[in-house]
């Protein structure tokens, strides 16, 4: 994806207020992120361990989500699969809950998905990060096809949040 600035990221949040988007922690090392290998940039908020964010470029514009991650300690022993990149991990998957955009979110509506705990789907898909021994599913898809699938799953997730 195209590199984004902090300002662009803050302006892209769809499921929190403008004030919250201003206060969220955005990574300081944006210039050093491997943008060309990212389908989305995801990070955990160092100031709020139960909070994560992600930003993707969908239909030509950046869309960012705030996610609540209740933590994955209890799931650590279970092998599970990320619903975005379909990487299987030995415990590296967390339930992430996104409040819905707009009034629905203010009334408590949310959408949940199991995501790679480190939000590094793009790197697993490209083989730049190893998900552990349990991850080696035999898949006949090419990397390009896996990237397409990841982007499609992510777009579907974002669409559910903004619906
Ligand atoms: Zn993933």
Span from the CA of 148 to the centroid of ligand 1 (angstroms): 13
Span from the CA of 114 to the centroid of ligand 1 (angstroms): 8
Span from the CA of 10 to the centroid of ligand 1 (angstroms): 23
Report whether 163 contacts 155 (CB < 8 A): no
Span from the CA of 157 to the centroid of ligand 1 (angstroms): 13
Query: Is 36 buried (19+), middle (13-18) or exposed (0-12) by CB count in 10 A?
Result: exposed
Span from the CA of 88 to the centroid of ligand 1 (angstroms): 8
Span from the CA of 127 to the centroid of ligand 1 (angstroms): 12
Query: What CA–CA distance (Å, rounded) separates 64 from 91?
Result: 25
Query: What CA–CA distance (Å, rounded) separates 162 from 156?
Result: 10
Beta-bridge partners for 67: 52
Query: What CA–CA distance (Å, rounded) separates 116 from 120?
Result: 6
Q: Is the dihedral of CA 54, 59, 61, 63 positive or negative?
A: negative
Span from the CA of 104 to the centroid of ligand 1 (angstroms): 26
Span from the CA of 18 to the centroid of ligand 1 (angstroms): 28
pTM confidence score: 0.91
Span from the CA of 28 to the centroid of ligand 1 (angstroms): 23
Span from the CA of 140 to the centroid of ligand 1 (angstroms): 18
Each residue's pLDDT tens digit in the chain (163 positions)?
999 999 999 999 999 999 999 999 999 999 999 999 999 999 999 888 899 999 999 999 999 999 998 765 554 556 689 999 999 887 789 999 999 999 999 999 999 999 999 999 999 999 999 887 655 566 788 999 999 999 999 999 999 999 9
């Amino acid at each position: 994806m195209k590199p984004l600035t902090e300002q662009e990221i803050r302006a892209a949040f769809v499921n929190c207020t403008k004030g919250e988007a201003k206060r969220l922690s955005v990574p300081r090392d944006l210039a050093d992120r491997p943008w060309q290998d990212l389908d989305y940039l995801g990070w955990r908020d160092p100031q709020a361990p139960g909070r994560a964010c992600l930003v993707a470029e969908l239909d030509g514009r950046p869309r960012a989500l705030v996610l609540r991650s209740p933590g994955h300690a209890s799931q650590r022993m279970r092998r599970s699969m990320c619903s975005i990149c379909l990487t299987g991990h030995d415990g590296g998957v967390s339930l992430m809950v996104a409040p819905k955009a707009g009034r629905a979110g203010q009334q408590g509506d949310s959408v949940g998905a199991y995501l790679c705990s480190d939000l590094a789907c793009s790197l697993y898909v490209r083989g730049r990060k190893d998900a552990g021994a349990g991850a080696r599913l035999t898949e006949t898809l090419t990397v390009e096809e896996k990237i397409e699938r990841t982007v499609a799953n992510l777009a579907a997730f974002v669409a559910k949040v903004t619906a």
